[in-house]
Amino acid sequence: MRFKQLMEESKERKQSNIVLALDAVPSTTNNLLSASLKILRKVHPYICAVKLNRQLLLPLGLQRGIRGIIEESHRLDLPVIMDCKINDIGYTNRVIAENYFDAGFDAVTANPFVGWEDGLKPVFEEAKRRNRGVILLVYMSHKASREGYGQIVYDEHGKKKPQYVIFAEKALSWGADGAVVGGTYPEKIREVYEILRDEVPIYSPGIGTQGGDIKTAISAGAEYVIIGRAITLSENPEAAAKKFRDASQTP
């Protein structure tokens, strides 16, 4: 099953479009793995997928602790995305993708700055071979996004465009399974959605702690919203996840 279909079915089954960014857990914990699993088990009824980052991978390790989170997520019928932002030459990118897919991840994120030939093409090939997904960064959620993704550049035909517009066009032409556009920039979501429509779903991080509003992001065109600290660092993660899930379904 292709990743896009996997996400669509999870969204329908869970009646949620919330992707949990399990990147930060309370700093008072002495066991990162058990704390992460505890949060996951509490909030799983209100989310449709899990996103992991190097904040967990580096201390836990890919072959041991992270595998436990992946396996538990799958047991709870949740796809798992590795937010690795692949950004190297093709040979290295393929090895990176192979390792994450071997560990059980259903999708990876990648940075289109490196281009296609001898860049991200091997990642897409590996994902297609295994029925896994590739989600491209189009416009990130932090304040300095404009310095890279927002700069005005020339496309391959010599036409001036914002960098993020070119990346959105690449997401469409390369057949990406998703495009990341920060929920902190609803105007960018809206603009990118006009390019991608229903062909490439938009994933919007930055909801909650970074200031993004869930309803605004969804109304602008986000298909999935990625929420981390506003849930994981909450005194009641379950209640926070339910609150966001309910907000996403309220007109």
Q: Which residues are catalytic?
A: 85
Angle at 7 between CA 105 and CA 4, to 5 degrees: 85
- The CA–CA distances, whole Å, from 27 to 24, 42, 85, 183 equal 8, 18, 25, 26
Asked if 81 contacts 109 with a C-beta cutoff of 8 angstroms, the reply is: yes
- CB contact set of 126 (below 8 Å; sequence gap of 6+): 94, 97, 98, 101, 132
- CB contact set of 71 (below 8 Å; sequence gap of 6+): 104
Euclidean distance between CA atoms 226 and 78, whole angstroms: 14
Asked if 181 contacts 217 with a C-beta cutoff of 8 angstroms, the reply is: no
Angle at 82 between CA 96 and CA 122, to 5 degrees: 35
